[in-house]
Each structure stands twice: as C-alpha cells, then as structure tokens.
Structure 1
Amino acid sequence: MSLVSWKRVVIKVGSALIAPNQNGCSSHYLLGIAQFIVRCKSMGIEVVLVSSGSVAAGSHLFNEQEEGYKPSIAVKKAMAAAGQMEMMATWDRLFDFPTAQILVTHGDLRDRERYISIKETIFSLLENGILPILNENDTVTTDKLKVGDNDNLSAMVAAAADADTLIICSDIDGLYDSNPHENPDAKLLSSVPVINDEIFAMAGGSSSSVGTGGMKTKIEAAKKAVAHGIDTYIVNGFTEQTFNALLAGKNPGTHFSPDKQPMKEHLHWMTHTSTAQGEVVVENDFTTELEDDSELLTSNEIIAVNGDFAVGDTILVRKDDGTRLAKAKSNYSSCLLSFIAEQDDQAFASKFQDTTGPIISENNIALLEEK
C-alpha cells in the first residue's frame, strides 16, 4: 500500500526508544517519530500510537538501582505507575495538538463488550483530532490478564482501530535471514508475502536490554495484523531516514503483505485477541466440516468438556490428540454442556439440544491452522 492511500496508521514505539539509557524519558529518538506523526496528520492520515516504556521510564526514580538488582513485580508495577506519567508528559510536549491516554489489559481486549468500548473510544478521539496513545496497564495487570509485549498489543490495537497500516519500530532495519548483530553477511528481507514457519525461524532476539519484545513477537504481531488485511512494516525506529523514506512512499525495512482474504472482524478478534476460557474435546476421527455443518457440533461427538466457561465465552474445540480445530463462542455453559454430553441416552441429549439450540452458531466459529 503506497503512502498516499493510507487512511489510518498504528505505530508502535518500544522502551529502547523511550528511555534508551534507562534514566528517564529522552526525546532524542522520539523527535523524528513525532515529526512523522505530525506530517501524517497534515496529510489527512489518522494515527494511533502504541507506546511501551513506562517501566523503563520510571526505573530511575527508585533507589534500588545497584548493579545486578532485579526489582520485584510490585516494584515494577510502581515503576510503571511513575514512568507512565513521565512518558505521557514527554509525548505531549512533542505535539501541538491534544493527546489522550488509553491503558488496557488483555482482559479488556478479550472481553467483547470492553473491546468494542475501546474501539469506540479510539474512533471518538480520532474524529476530534486527538492522538490516542495506548499502552498496557502494567500497574494493574497480572500474568492471567496481560498481553506481555506491546508488539502483539499493537496488532490487536490495529485490528480494533480498523487501521490499514501497522508500523512496528525495531532496533534494526527489519527482518534479516539471520541475526545481523552476529552475522555480518545477514541479508534484510524487504518483502514477506506469507508468514510461515521459515519466517518465524529467522526471528532472533532483540539487541536491546530495555524492551521485552524481540523479533519473534514482531513476527507474531505481523501475522495477526496481515490476517486482518493490514499492511505491516518492521522498521528501524532509531534513524530519522526511516520516517523520511516512509513519507516518500518507500519501504525502509520489511513489508509484510496483507492476506488477500482477510478474516471478518469478529472472527479475527476471536482467533487473535480473545482467550479460550475452556475447551471441548472430540474424538480423533471427528470429520464434521465445522464451517459447513448446520449443527456444527452435537453432544454425541463430545468426549470431554474442560474448564469453567459461561454462555458467550470463547472456547477451543480440539481433537483428543491435541489437534486444534477451532475457536468459537459457546452457546452453552461448561456445566450444562458437560451434563448433556454425559447422558447415556443420546435421544435425550439430542432432544435437549433441539430444544435449546446449537452448541456453536454458524457465524461464531473461527477455524484454526493445525499446530
């Protein structure tokens, strides 16, 4: 997609750009990014910013900084709370238009109602010329509720914002066929038409000691984004030339082509954002074509119901050998589904299901690639 056709762009900026010396926020690398955002807005392109860096920005405010010190989770959360203020103040100083802060957890994104609320908030801000700046809410999140890295978060945000382009800033020019910090002959891939196992195998770690995301998480994010039809770039965020090239319609890094048949919005959310709250296990010889069968799934095909889920929760449908078939919205609670699946009288179970409706509705199932 050429620059002139961009309508809405999400740009992800990492901790190493925000606080490169772990001594508070620095505008050294952010000025070029801010100028890029300003120039995009002047061209009528809407921009959403996903900014890591709250922990890195706040770490210098704490006393326990001797060599080898590893802060506890509680201290990291406190660092995030303090650093988030400094980070937002730094961004705000770089723009002559208003900015807004949106802090989210994976728990917010995987809940459909809250996900829609986040979408609506982003749209309202953009409509009023306000720059949305999103970050994971590290102060309150837990292992169960966190995304864990802002690369994947940026892809989820890009999908929620209906963006046509995602730009992920890295500490290198893009995806190489091997680690360029270790191999001087490593070659940059300027274009990736399909993300497959070979592409993932090329993803090494990041040289940054500040951020939590390496190249693997950036590839994961790209896979999420292109499935939604979003052009995705991994670029070097440390050089101003990167953003000049983008504004000139050139590719300064690695471009990941969007899928030719993007997933529908709610199916993309179910596949890449929502977390399965439980699972339904079927026999290994299960052959029903889930996307075509009007019943989709019947009680006599189920051999186990695992987890505790409610009506409307996302569940995983898999074979007994572990093969993942689909993620879907369940029309039954785990308790009720277990009850009817355990009935010896299949006529009773079938009649019960005929009365209460299908276990999974036809338009609420997303087939998965076998892994």
Structure 2
Amino acid sequence: MTRPASAAEALKSARRVVVKIGSSLVVEADSRGPALGWMASLAEDIASLRTGGRQVILVSSGAVALGRGRLGLEKNARLDEKQAAAAVGQSLLMQAWEQALTPRGMTPAQVLLTRDDTERRRRWLNARATIEALLKLSAVPIVNENDTVATEEIRYGDNDRLAARAAQLARADLLILLSDVDGLYTDDPRRNASARHLPVVDTLTPEVLAMAGGANTEADVGTGGMATKLEAARIARSAGCATLIVSGLTTRPLAAVAAGARATLITAPATPLQAYKSWIAGSLEPAGVLTVDDGAAEALGAGRSLLASGVRRVEGRFDRGDCVRVTGETGQSLGVGLAAYAADEMERIRGRHSGEIEAIVGYKGPGVAIHRDDLVLTS
C-alpha cells in the first residue's frame, strides 16, 4: 500500500474515517446553542464521503457546553453540575445532528462510551460489534463520552483521545481532528508570525511533540489543544490509522481539504489490520489452547477462519475475546488468535457445524471459533 503524500490524498484513499468535532465548532459562543449552519455544512461533506464509498463515524463534543448554556452554568462548574449539564446537553446535541444529517438521507446513531468500554476487552468487543452493525446498516455513529456517569478518575480527559480510541476500535484508516488551526506549526501561529506549517509528519519525534502548545484559552468551550491532538495521533498511528489536523473554522472543511486546503497529515507506518495483527501476535499472552484437526489447519493456511467443526480439544480458562494459541493434532504451533467464544462455550461447540452454534450457546453469535481477521499464523 502506497503511503499518501498529502492530506488530500489521505482523504481520497481512506475507506473508513473518524471525524472528531470539538465543542468550539459545535456550540456558538454568543448564543451558547448549536451551530446549526456549520453542522449542516459538515453534513454535506459527510454525505459526499459516503457517496464516494467511505464509511464515516463522528466523535462529537458539545453536550456539556450545550447543557451549561441551557442550565445557565459557568465553565468552572462542579463535577456534579457538569454531569447534569451533560444529561441535558446530550439530547440537544443529538437533536442538532438529527437536523443536520436527516435531510441529507443519513440516520444518526448515538454511541456513548466511557474509558472502560475501550480498555476492558469484553466491553471493547461489544462496542466494536455495535459500531460495525451501525455501519452495515448505513447509520452514522455519533460517539461521545458518557459524561453523565464518567468521573475524573475514569474519563478519557478529552475527545481527541476518545476519537483516537474510537478509530482504533473501529479499525479506521483515517482520523480527522477538526481544530481551530489548519494543522501543526513549528510554534503557535497565534503568537509567532514566523511559525512554519508542517504539511506532512512521518514520525512523532520529541522535537515534533515539543511544537504543540496548550489549549485555545481564547475559546469559551472545549478543553483540547495541539498537545492532545498529537497524543491522539500517536494512539491512532499505533493502530495503523493516519491522522489529519484540519481547520474547522470554515464551512465544508472536508471539501476544502479535498480541494487542497492547508492541513497536516500524520502518516501511519502500517494498515489498521497489520497493526491489529501485530498487537495480537506480540502484546497478548494466550489464555488457552485450541487443538484443531488437519482439515482446519489446511484451511487456516489458505487464509480462512477457524470453524468450530475443526476444533478437537479446548484447554485453559478464557473468555470471549481472549487470546488463545492454535495448535495442530501433533502439537505443532499454528498461530494465535482471539476466541469468539468463552472456554466453556467453545467446549460445547467444538466439532459442531456453524448452523448448530446458536441452539447450543443460546444466542446468535459468530459462526466461527476465531475469525481470520483475529488470527495470526505462526509462519
């Protein structure tokens, strides 16, 4: 796969895109209500991307800011007041996205996450399955942190990091961070007129990271700054996902990038699937062993998934989504992968055909023991 050489090329070649929108773009500073005109213009961009065959996930801030405006709270509100503002503002935020997306033939779908949802394996799998189902149904997932229940100890901290985790979870190949500046500069361009814009960054060196300034203190809403955007890019990059830092201070910001507007592309060294498989192979300790017959071993070598019918023996105590080792009948190592079922369920379905699984386990789950995308072969 050829690495894109510009922001426009990255946008053109992407297949699954996560777009993060900050509070300062979604909420009007004067009225403290939703910026409906700007949101409608972004909806035009999203519709254009989808027409071009791309899948789009939004990560939208704004619930707390909208709720504060409705409740008359100041920005330095207590945690419980911020949670109350989130409860009020989330419905206002979704109403605004409904107004923006529905007239353009798109169905918004609310997805509220906490940090546990992307850091605890089982919940991560559930969140990923929900987002995959929404994309298959042509809905537009709109992700936000569940600020109503999140405390300071379990928060992502900002929606740039949440967007990076969402991109990682969804195996997106492009993360777009809409900002109040048009990319990364060698210094803060609001304070240093000689700061130089960086159109492409291939490595996040300490020198590059040091170029980030703080949050935009001139804005009344939002918590992020360039430092959090580079941290988000680092997380996304480790998952094989490139990042664009783009100005959102204009209408149709994505169309502007496609037409060559200034932005910063932070490239990724691998594809999302390659990065995901490297993580499975090198970062996870197998919790069990599946021994498979010769027919299954041959199928795995041909790039197919592992079917339950080919599993001969189940060892260890593991849950759905845990890493397990796959071995042949003579004990030779074939690879490692993420189990689609827990050990007790795997014991019950081993040797059985896919069509029998639902009746055995009592719910409609995957038709495989390990999906080929969740499997890394030894050779």
Partner of 2:17: 9
> What CA distance in whole angstroms lies between the structure 2 residues aligned with 1:81 and 1:15?
16
Partner of 2:268: 258
Shift of 1:261: 7.7
Shift of 1:188: 1.0
Shift of 1:20: 3.0
- Asked whether 1:38 is paired with 2:44, we answer no
Partner of 2:352: none
* Structure 2 unmatched runs, 5+: 285-317, 323-374
Preserved CA contact (<8 Å) 1:231 1:256: yes
- Asked whether 1:229 is paired with 2:235, we answer no
Q: 2:176 aligns with which of 154, 160, 167?
A: 167
> What CA distance in whole angstroms lies between the structure 2 residues aligned with 1:237 and 1:271?
38
Preserved CA contact (<8 Å) 1:242 1:252: no
> What CA distance in whole angstroms lies between the structure 2 residues aligned with 1:120 and 1:142?
25
TM score, norm. by length of structure 2: 0.67
Identity %: 37
Partner of 1:348: none
Alignment of 1:254-333 (within 5 A): 254-260=264-270, 264-265=275-276
| C-alpha distance 106-163 of structure 1, shift in aligned 2 (>3 A) | same
Alignment of 1:32-181 (within 5 A): 32-65=41-74, 70-96=76-102, 97-181=106-190
Bigger shift: residues 22-31 or 139-148: 22-31
RMSD: 2.9
Preserved CA contact (<8 Å) 1:228 1:259: no
Other structure's SS at 1:120 match: helix
Preserved CA contact (<8 Å) 2:238 2:275: no
- How many residue pairs get aligned? The number is 277
Preserved CA contact (<8 Å) 1:80 1:139: yes
Preserved CA contact (<8 Å) 1:10 1:47: yes
TM score, norm. by length of structure 1: 0.69
Shift of 1:230: 1.1
Shift of 1:251: 5.8
Preserved CA contact (<8 Å) 2:241 2:271: no
> What CA distance in whole angstroms lies between the structure 2 residues aligned with 1:198 and 1:50?
29
Shift of 1:267: 6.5
Other structure's SS at 2:124 match: helix
> What CA distance in whole angstroms lies between the structure 1 residues aligned with 2:278 and 2:27?
37
Q: 2:205 aligns with which of 188, 196, 212?
A: 196
Shift of 1:64: 4.5
Shift of 1:266: 7.0
Deviation sequence 1:148-202 (CA, Å, 0-9, x none):
1110110110011111111001001111110111111111111101001111100
Counterpart code for 1:89:
Q
Shift of 1:33: 1.5
